[in-house]
Structure 1
Amino acid sequence: MSNLDVSMKDMMAIDGAIGAAVVDYNSGMALGTMGSSKSLDLQVASAGNTEVMRAKMRTMESLGIKDDIEDILITLNGQYHVIRPVTGRKGKGLFLYLAMDRGRANLALARHQLKGIEENLSV
C-alpha cells in the first residue's frame, strides 16, 4: 500500500469525514480521492479548492505576507471543509482536502490529525 493510500485512509478515519483528497494545486488534479457521500463530487471539489488555494497564495504575495498557510477552513451550515497545504519538500505543490459532517466532527482534533497526516505524506 502506498503512502498516498495510507494517508487517504487516515483522513477518512477522522471523525465525521465524508470525503478526502490529495490535490496538486498546480494542475488542479486530485492524485487520490476517497469518500462516502454521493452529494460531494471530489473531482469538482478538488478543482474548485485549487482556485481557493491559488487565490490565497496570490493575495498573500500581493500583501507581502511572508508566512505559511497552516490551513484554510470553510464552514457551511452542515459541513466543515479543510484545505491544508503540504509543506514538506516531498509534497510541495500539494494540499490535503477534507470534508466533514459538522454534527459529527471535532474541528480542533481533525486539524491536529491532518497536521500529522500532512507531515508524513510523501508522493
Structure 2
Amino acid sequence: MTLLAAPLALAACDSGDDTEAMDDTAMADVQMPMDDSDMPMMGSDGAMRTASAEGIVTAIDADAGTITVDHGAVPAIEWPAMTMGFQADEQLRQDVAVGDTISFDFTTGEGGNTITSITKK
C-alpha cells in the first residue's frame, strides 16, 4: 500500500501552477487493498463464530433490521473496540433503545454479523 500511496501523494503536491494534479476522477480507478488480517470474521475453517460483547446502542434501523452498537474489544474473535451494525430480529430491536448499555451474544461469518441475545445493563 505504501508503494501506491507515495506516488499519489507526490502527484497531489503543488506543481507551481493553479491546477490540481489529481482530481476525483483520477482517484476513481485507484484500488487500495484491504488488509482484514487485523479483524478475522471467521475461524480458519470458514465456520460461523459466536462471541459476546458489551456496548452502547447508538442506532436502531427497523427498515434495515439492524442495531448499531459501540462495543468494547472482543478478545474471543480478536476484534478491537468499534462501532458497527448487527442484524437483529424485530423482538431484539424492540427490547432496546438508543443509549442503552447492553451485553449481547452474536454470530459472525460470511453471512454477516447477527445479534442472537441482548441483556440491558
In the superposition, the TM-score normalised over structure 1's length comes to 0.25
* Structure exhibiting the larger radius of gyration computed from Cα positions: 2
Structure with more of its chain in strand, by fraction: 2
Structure with more of its chain in helix, by fraction: 1
In the superposition, the TM-score normalised over structure 2's length comes to 0.26
